[in-house]
Amino acid sequence: MGRARPFVAKDGFRVVRFDLSGLGDSPVRGAGAQYVIYAPEAPEDVRDVLNGVLPDDPSNAILVGLCSGAYQAIEVGLAYKVRSICAVNPELVVSPAVEIDDWARSLTSFKRLTALAQRLPGFAWWIINRTALAPPPPRVLVKVVDAGVDIFLIVGKIEANMLQRGEGSTMRKLFRDGRFRMDVIPELEHALFDRYSAEHATTLLRDYIDVKFGSNRTLVEGDRSQL
């Protein structure tokens, strides 16, 4: 999400872009492992940034993240009740720690798994969601808005379908809440590697932040290298 940084900075926001421990250009701190996404210490990294930049009021921030970064933004943003969370293609049901090599290999079978999931009827997903150990993604989002936190999702068509499976009533509740917004870009590439996806998502983010918060606010942005 680094493309959004100069635009929102020019609009009068204070912006912090950062790596999580062991990712991007940053070394591992403590006893953690290198190149692990969804690492147990990742939320602590985000909390440290909020407390360091905003020691008097760490909730006075907007957290922005992509994929695993969006997951961390939602988890920490909910705990701190930040001003807003902007999540691009968030992964809301994950293992506690995933090696980057494992994650990359899983992408090769993503379309195959998605095609299988698309064949499951809505009632099957309803049953799956209610027997799973973790809550389905829409219920996580309900917790966010019920806590008084604004949240903006930018998702591709595939991600939108997976997000809403078996949770039609929960999604309708979310869409009725003024704190929730979800924009679906059918051609959005999951990791924003192509120019169209990156520019489209950046424009939506900039417009949302500008309209919602005006200028002279504080933005703390998670790094794209969290992938």
For residue 201, give the CATH number of its domain.
Answer: 3.40.50
Token readout for 224 is 């794209």
What type of residue is 83? Answer: R
**Counting every residue, how long is the chain?**
227
- Between the alpha carbon of residue 41 and those of residues 87, 90, 125, 182, 216, the distances in Å are 20, 19, 31, 29, 31
Report pLDDT digits (tens) over 137-187.
898 999 999 999 999 999 999 899 888 888 889 999 999 999 999 999 999
CA distance 152 to 183: 8
Ramachandran area for residue 124 (φ above 0: left; ψ -120 to 50: alpha; else beta)? alpha
Q: Is the CB of residue 206 less than 8 Å from the CB of residue 154? A: no
* Residue whose token pair is 């219920």: 139
In this prediction, residue 1 carries a pLDDT of 57
Count of domains for the chain: 1
How many angstroms separate the CA atoms of 91 and 152, rounded?
Answer: 14
pLDDT value at residue 5 = 56
The mean per-residue pLDDT over the stretch 1-19 comes to 72
Residue 67: its pLDDT value, please? 85
Task: Supply the pLDDT for residue 68.
Answer: 82
| DSSP symbols for 121-165 | -HHHHHHHHHHSSSPPHHHHHHHHHHTT-EEEEEEEHHHHHHHHT
Question: So what's the pLDDT on residue 147?
Answer: 96
pLDDT tens for 18-27 read 888 777 777 7
Domain range spanning residue 118? 4-226
Percent of the chain clearing pLDDT 70 (strictly above): 72
Task: Specify the pLDDT at position 11.
Answer: 73
Backbone angles phi, psi at 217, to 5 degrees: -110, -175
